[in-house]
Protein backbone atom coordinates (compact mmCIF):
# COMPACT_ATOMS: atom_id res chain seq x y z
CA UNK A 1 0.00 0.00 0.00
CA UNK A 2 2.75 2.48 1.06
CA UNK A 3 4.80 1.50 -1.99
CA UNK A 4 1.83 2.12 -4.29
CA UNK A 5 1.17 5.58 -2.78
CA UNK A 6 4.88 6.48 -3.03
CA UNK A 7 4.98 5.31 -6.64
CA UNK A 8 1.89 7.37 -7.47
CA UNK A 9 3.39 10.44 -5.76
CA UNK A 10 6.66 9.99 -7.67
CA UNK A 11 4.79 9.70 -11.00
CA UNK A 12 2.75 12.81 -10.12
CA UNK A 13 5.90 14.76 -9.19
CA UNK A 14 7.51 13.72 -12.51
CA UNK A 15 4.45 14.91 -14.45
CA UNK A 16 4.42 18.25 -12.58
CA UNK A 17 8.17 18.72 -13.17
CA UNK A 18 7.76 17.88 -16.85
CA UNK A 19 4.90 20.40 -17.25
CA UNK A 20 6.93 23.11 -15.41
CA UNK A 21 9.96 22.40 -17.65
CA UNK A 22 7.87 22.47 -20.85
CA UNK A 23 6.11 25.70 -19.80
CA UNK A 24 9.50 27.35 -19.27
CA UNK A 25 11.13 26.14 -22.47
CA UNK A 26 8.40 25.66 -25.06
CA UNK A 27 6.43 28.56 -26.51
CA UNK A 28 3.24 26.64 -27.25
CA UNK A 29 3.12 25.18 -23.75
CA UNK A 30 3.92 28.58 -22.21
CA UNK A 31 1.08 30.24 -24.13
CA UNK A 32 -1.35 27.46 -23.31
CA UNK A 33 -0.43 27.62 -19.61
CA UNK A 34 -0.55 31.42 -19.21
CA UNK A 35 -3.12 32.37 -21.81
CA UNK A 36 -5.69 29.65 -21.25
CA UNK A 37 -5.21 27.69 -18.07
CA UNK A 38 -4.00 30.29 -15.52
CA UNK A 39 -6.09 33.12 -16.96
CA UNK A 40 -9.32 31.10 -16.73
CA UNK A 41 -8.60 29.99 -13.18
CA UNK A 42 -7.83 33.57 -12.07
CA UNK A 43 -10.91 34.91 -13.87
CA UNK A 44 -13.07 32.29 -12.16
CA UNK A 45 -11.60 32.84 -8.68
CA UNK A 46 -11.59 36.66 -8.81
CA UNK A 47 -14.72 37.34 -10.87
CA UNK A 48 -12.65 39.77 -12.95
CA UNK A 49 -10.78 39.59 -16.26
CA UNK A 50 -7.05 39.88 -16.89
CA UNK A 51 -7.42 43.29 -18.59
CA UNK A 52 -9.42 44.49 -15.54
CA UNK A 53 -6.68 43.24 -13.21
CA UNK A 54 -4.08 45.10 -15.30
CA UNK A 55 -6.20 48.26 -15.18
CA UNK A 56 -6.71 48.07 -11.41
CA UNK A 57 -2.99 47.54 -10.84
CA UNK A 58 -2.15 50.55 -13.04
CA UNK A 59 -4.76 52.72 -11.26
CA UNK A 60 -3.22 51.75 -7.90
CA UNK A 61 0.44 52.05 -8.81
CA UNK A 62 1.06 54.29 -11.86
CA UNK A 63 1.26 58.07 -11.80
CA UNK A 64 -1.73 59.71 -13.51
CA UNK A 65 -0.81 61.50 -16.74
CA UNK A 66 2.57 59.76 -16.94
CA UNK A 67 2.61 57.34 -19.88
CA UNK A 68 6.01 55.90 -18.93
CA UNK A 69 4.77 55.15 -15.43
CA UNK A 70 1.75 53.30 -16.93
CA UNK A 71 3.95 51.28 -19.33
CA UNK A 72 6.31 50.37 -16.52
CA UNK A 73 3.42 49.37 -14.20
CA UNK A 74 2.03 47.04 -16.90
CA UNK A 75 5.49 45.49 -17.38
CA UNK A 76 5.86 45.05 -13.65
CA UNK A 77 2.41 43.43 -13.29
CA UNK A 78 2.95 41.12 -16.27
CA UNK A 79 6.41 39.98 -15.27
CA UNK A 80 5.80 39.60 -11.52
CA UNK A 81 2.08 38.90 -11.08
CA UNK A 82 0.35 37.69 -14.22
CA UNK A 83 1.53 37.17 -17.80
CA UNK A 84 -0.35 39.02 -20.58
CA UNK A 85 -0.07 39.22 -24.37
CA UNK A 86 1.43 42.74 -24.65
CA UNK A 87 4.45 43.08 -26.93
CA UNK A 88 6.38 43.43 -23.66
CA UNK A 89 9.50 45.31 -22.62
CA UNK A 90 12.14 43.42 -24.66
CA UNK A 91 10.39 43.40 -28.05
CA UNK A 92 9.00 46.80 -27.04
CA UNK A 93 12.51 48.20 -27.28
CA UNK A 94 12.74 46.96 -30.89
CA UNK A 95 9.35 48.56 -31.57
CA UNK A 96 10.59 51.84 -30.03
CA UNK A 97 13.73 51.78 -32.20
CA UNK A 98 11.67 51.20 -35.37
CA UNK A 99 9.29 54.05 -34.49
CA UNK A 100 12.22 56.42 -33.81
CA UNK A 101 14.00 55.42 -37.02
CA UNK A 102 10.82 55.61 -39.19
CA UNK A 103 9.59 58.91 -37.68
CA UNK A 104 6.03 58.13 -38.86
CA UNK A 105 3.17 60.62 -39.15
CA UNK A 106 0.56 57.97 -39.89
CA UNK A 107 0.66 54.75 -37.89
CA UNK A 108 -1.74 51.80 -37.95
CA UNK A 109 -1.79 49.17 -35.22
CA UNK A 110 -3.68 45.91 -35.72
CA UNK A 111 -4.59 44.48 -32.29
CA UNK A 112 -4.82 46.94 -29.37
CA UNK A 113 -5.56 44.57 -26.45
CA UNK A 114 -4.98 46.81 -23.37
CA UNK A 115 -3.14 49.47 -25.35
CA UNK A 116 0.36 48.70 -24.06
CA UNK A 117 2.06 48.88 -27.49
CA UNK A 118 -0.24 51.77 -28.48
CA UNK A 119 1.15 53.77 -25.56
CA UNK A 120 4.74 52.77 -26.38
CA UNK A 121 4.25 54.05 -29.95
CA UNK A 122 2.19 57.14 -29.05
CA UNK A 123 4.77 58.53 -26.64
CA UNK A 124 7.37 58.63 -29.44
CA UNK A 125 5.22 60.31 -32.10
CA UNK A 126 5.67 63.98 -33.02
CA UNK A 127 2.77 66.41 -32.47
CA UNK A 128 0.18 66.10 -35.22
CA UNK A 129 0.97 62.45 -35.96
CA UNK A 130 -1.96 60.02 -36.02
CA UNK A 131 -2.04 56.56 -34.51
CA UNK A 132 -5.03 54.43 -35.51
CA UNK A 133 -5.39 51.26 -33.45
CA UNK A 134 -7.92 48.54 -34.27
CA UNK A 135 -9.40 46.12 -31.71
CA UNK A 136 -12.34 43.79 -32.24
CA UNK A 137 -12.99 42.93 -28.59
CA UNK A 138 -15.12 45.63 -26.94
CA UNK A 139 -14.03 44.76 -23.38
CA UNK A 140 -10.33 45.04 -24.30
CA UNK A 141 -11.05 48.30 -26.15
CA UNK A 142 -12.82 49.75 -23.09
CA UNK A 143 -9.91 48.83 -20.81
CA UNK A 144 -7.41 50.30 -23.30
CA UNK A 145 -9.39 53.53 -23.36
CA UNK A 146 -9.31 53.76 -19.55
CA UNK A 147 -5.57 53.09 -19.55
CA UNK A 148 -5.05 55.81 -22.18
CA UNK A 149 -6.97 58.20 -19.97
CA UNK A 150 -4.84 57.28 -16.96
CA UNK A 151 -1.71 57.80 -19.07
CA UNK A 152 -2.96 61.18 -20.27
CA UNK A 153 -3.22 60.18 -23.91
CA UNK A 154 -5.92 61.83 -25.93
CA UNK A 155 -7.81 58.73 -27.09
CA UNK A 156 -11.15 58.28 -28.74
CA UNK A 157 -13.12 55.07 -29.09
CA UNK A 158 -15.05 55.54 -32.28
CA UNK A 159 -16.42 53.39 -35.02
CA UNK A 160 -15.25 54.57 -38.43
CA UNK A 161 -18.75 55.92 -39.13
CA UNK A 162 -18.95 58.14 -36.08
CA UNK A 163 -15.64 59.97 -36.23
CA UNK A 164 -16.30 63.73 -36.37
CA UNK A 165 -14.60 66.05 -38.81
CA UNK A 166 -12.08 68.50 -37.41
CA UNK A 167 -8.79 68.29 -35.54
CA UNK A 168 -7.48 64.79 -35.05
CA UNK A 169 -6.44 63.20 -31.79
CA UNK A 170 -3.18 61.36 -31.31
CA UNK A 171 -4.68 57.91 -30.66
CA UNK A 172 -7.82 56.81 -32.47
CA UNK A 173 -9.18 53.49 -31.27
CA UNK A 174 -11.48 51.77 -33.75
CA UNK A 175 -13.69 48.97 -32.49
CA UNK A 176 -14.21 46.21 -35.05
CA UNK A 177 -12.53 43.61 -37.16
CA UNK A 178 -9.45 44.66 -39.15
CA UNK A 179 -10.75 43.02 -42.33
CA UNK A 180 -13.89 45.17 -42.15
CA UNK A 181 -12.22 48.40 -41.01
CA UNK A 182 -9.10 48.47 -43.24
CA UNK A 183 -11.10 49.06 -46.46
CA UNK A 184 -12.91 51.96 -44.72
CA UNK A 185 -9.81 53.80 -43.47
CA UNK A 186 -9.11 55.95 -46.54
CA UNK A 187 -12.56 57.44 -46.87
CA UNK A 188 -13.84 57.46 -43.33
CA UNK A 189 -10.64 58.55 -41.55
CA UNK A 190 -9.20 60.64 -44.36
CA UNK A 191 -5.98 58.61 -44.35
CA UNK A 192 -3.94 58.28 -47.53
CA UNK A 193 -0.98 55.98 -46.71
CA UNK A 194 0.58 54.64 -43.52
CA UNK A 195 4.25 55.16 -42.75
CA UNK A 196 4.27 52.38 -40.16
CA UNK A 197 1.98 49.41 -39.50
CA UNK A 198 2.40 47.40 -36.29
CA UNK A 199 0.85 43.99 -36.93
CA UNK A 200 -0.04 42.27 -33.67
CA UNK A 201 -3.52 40.74 -33.91
CA UNK A 202 -4.39 37.05 -34.46
CA UNK A 203 -1.61 35.47 -36.47
CA UNK A 204 -3.88 33.95 -39.17
CA UNK A 205 -4.86 37.50 -40.13
CA UNK A 206 -1.31 38.82 -40.71
CA UNK A 207 -1.10 37.78 -44.36
CA UNK A 208 -4.70 38.50 -45.48
CA UNK A 209 -4.61 41.92 -43.80
CA UNK A 210 -1.23 42.76 -45.35
CA UNK A 211 -2.65 41.95 -48.78
CA UNK A 212 -5.72 44.03 -47.92
CA UNK A 213 -3.51 47.01 -46.99
CA UNK A 214 -1.78 46.65 -50.39
CA UNK A 215 -5.09 46.31 -52.28
CA UNK A 216 -6.56 49.34 -50.52
CA UNK A 217 -3.51 51.43 -51.47
CA UNK A 218 -2.63 52.14 -47.84
CA UNK A 219 1.10 51.42 -48.30
CA UNK A 220 3.65 53.55 -50.12
CA UNK A 221 7.26 52.92 -51.05
CA UNK A 222 9.13 53.03 -47.73
CA UNK A 223 6.15 52.07 -45.52
CA UNK A 224 7.36 49.82 -42.71
CA UNK A 225 5.48 46.76 -41.48
CA UNK A 226 6.55 45.45 -38.09
CA UNK A 227 5.03 42.09 -37.19
CA UNK A 228 5.13 40.69 -33.66
CA UNK A 229 5.22 37.02 -32.60
CA UNK A 230 6.54 35.72 -35.90
CA UNK A 231 8.36 32.90 -34.06
CA UNK A 232 5.97 32.24 -31.18
CA UNK A 233 3.21 31.38 -31.85
CA UNK A 234 4.43 32.15 -35.39
CA UNK A 235 2.99 33.39 -38.67
CA UNK A 236 4.68 31.16 -41.28
CA UNK A 237 2.54 32.15 -44.27
CA UNK A 238 3.18 35.84 -43.55
CA UNK A 239 6.95 35.30 -43.21
CA UNK A 240 7.06 33.25 -46.39
CA UNK A 241 5.29 36.11 -48.20
CA UNK A 242 7.30 39.12 -46.97
CA UNK A 243 10.63 37.28 -47.21
CA UNK A 244 10.09 36.11 -50.80
CA UNK A 245 8.06 38.90 -52.35
CA UNK A 246 10.04 41.38 -54.49
CA UNK A 247 7.76 44.04 -53.03
CA UNK A 248 9.41 43.82 -49.59
CA UNK A 249 12.84 44.00 -47.99
CA UNK A 250 12.50 42.00 -44.82
CA UNK A 251 14.61 41.55 -41.69
CA UNK A 252 14.16 39.40 -38.58
CA UNK A 253 14.93 40.70 -35.08
CA UNK A 254 15.34 37.86 -32.59
CA UNK A 255 14.07 38.42 -29.07
CA UNK A 256 12.00 36.67 -26.42
CA UNK A 257 8.30 36.07 -25.94
CA UNK A 258 6.89 38.79 -23.68
CA UNK A 259 7.84 38.35 -20.03
CA UNK A 260 9.18 34.80 -20.62
CA UNK A 261 12.48 33.11 -21.49
CA UNK A 262 11.07 31.62 -24.70
CA UNK A 263 12.35 32.48 -28.16
CA UNK A 264 10.30 34.93 -30.23
CA UNK A 265 11.04 37.73 -32.65
CA UNK A 266 9.65 40.53 -34.79
CA UNK A 267 9.88 40.93 -38.55
CA UNK A 268 10.47 44.36 -40.05
CA UNK A 269 9.47 44.56 -43.71
CA UNK A 270 9.90 47.66 -45.83
CA UNK A 271 7.35 47.94 -48.66
CA UNK A 272 9.19 48.75 -51.89
CA UNK A 273 6.14 49.68 -53.94
Ligand X SMILES: C[S@@+](CC[C@H](N)C(=O)[O-])C[C@H]1O[C@@H](n2cnc3c(N)ncnc32)[C@H](O)[C@@H]1O
Q: Would you please indicate which residues are annotated as catalytic (active-site) residues?
A: 200, 203, 228-229, 258
Select 4 or 35, whichever has its Cβ closest to ligand X: 35
- Shortest Å distance, C-beta 81 to ligand X: 16
86 binds ligand X per the rule CB under 6 A:
yes
Cα dist. 246→149, 216, 239 in Å? 42, 19, 13
How is the chain classified by DSSP, letter by letter? -HHHHHHHHHHHHHHHHHHHHHHHH-HHHHHIIIIIIIHHHHHHHHSS-HHHHHHHHHHHHSPTT-HHHHHHHHHHHHHHT----S-HHHHHHHHHHHHHHH--SEEEEE--TTSHHHHHHHTTSPTT-EEEEEES-HHHHHHHHHHHHHHT--EEEE-TTTPPSSSPPSEEEEES-HHHHGGGHHHHH----EEEEEE-S-GGGHHHHHHHHHHTT-EEEEEEEEES-IIIII-HHHHHHHHH-TTEEEEEEEEE-TTSSSEEEEEEEEE--
Instruction: Give the binding-site size for ligand X (rule: CB under 6 A).
Output: 18
- Shortest Å distance, C-beta 12 to ligand X: 34
- Shortest Å distance, C-beta 273 to ligand X: 26
Only one of the segments 26-34, 37-45, 111-119, 214-222 lies at the binding site for ligand X (rule: CB under 6 A); that segment is 111-119
Select 88 or 242, whichever has its Cβ closest to ligand X: 88
Binding residues among 180-239 for ligand X as defined by CB under 6 A: 200-202, 205
Using Cβ positions, the residue closest to ligand X within the complex turns out to be: 111
137 binds ligand X per the rule CB under 6 A:
yes
111 binds ligand X per the rule CB under 6 A:
yes
- Shortest Å distance, C-beta 216 to ligand X: 15
Select 33 or 113, whichever has its Cβ closest to ligand X: 113
- Shortest Å distance, C-beta 229 to ligand X: 7
Kindly report the number of other CB atoms within 10 A of residue 237's CB atom. 12
Q: How far apart are CA 174 and CA 162, in angstroms?
A: 10
99 binds ligand X per the rule CB under 6 A:
no
142 binds ligand X per the rule CB under 6 A:
no
150 binds ligand X per the rule CB under 6 A:
no
Select from 23, 55, 78, 87 the one that contacts ligand X (CB under 6 A). Answer: 87
Select from 135, 172, 195, 267 the one that contacts ligand X (CB under 6 A). Answer: 135
- Shortest Å distance, C-beta 91 to ligand X: 8
85 binds ligand X per the rule CB under 6 A:
yes
Interface with ligand X (CB under 6 A): 85-87, 111, 113, 116-117, 134-137, 140, 177-178, 200-202, 205
Amino acid sequence: MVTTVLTLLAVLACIVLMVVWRVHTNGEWALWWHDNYLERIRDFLSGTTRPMRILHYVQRSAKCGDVLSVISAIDSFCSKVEWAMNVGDKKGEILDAVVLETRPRYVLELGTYCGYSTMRIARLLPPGARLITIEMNSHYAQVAKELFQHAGLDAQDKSAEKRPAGPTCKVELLLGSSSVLIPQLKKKLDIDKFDLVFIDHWKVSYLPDTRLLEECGLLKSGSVLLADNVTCPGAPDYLEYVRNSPRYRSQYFPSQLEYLQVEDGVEKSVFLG
